[in-house]
Structure 1
Amino acid sequence: MESKRLYRSRRERLVCGVCGGVAEYFNIDPTIVRLAFLLFVFCAGSGVLAYIIAAIVMPDDPN
């Protein structure tokens, strides 16, 4: 059984591919993840820092 891994997307990339990678992992539309990220940025205020950390920590998709 192959385990799912979280990668930054190479196809659904606008900035670093973090939102696209999360969308591919959960098999949902990347636009939904991007909108949720924007809400998180404006409501919580720490979304930009979380995105930067995710962009550093998450590897690129090897495929």
Structure 2
Amino acid sequence: MCRTLLIDPDDVELLLGQRVGTPLRKVYHYEPTWGVLGEPWRSQISQLMLGAVPSDAAQPTAN
């Protein structure tokens, strides 16, 4: 599992004007346990981001 590939509400800031950034967690009042992906979703998303194709993925059709 590669945690660094996925972002969470602490990784995103909303800008107000040009100088003030507010973490997404604070803007939407996220609790620390909200929005955490569990397995197998986290691994599957990480594999897709790395370009891995799941074994059960549909193969492209010939035109």
TM-score normalized by structure 1?
0.32
Is the radius of gyration larger for structure 1 or structure 2?
2
Higher-strand-fraction structure: 2
Higher-helix-fraction structure: 1
Could you say which structure has the greater relative contact order, defined with CA pairs below 8 angstroms and 6 or more residues apart?
Answer: 1
TM-score normalized by structure 2?
0.32
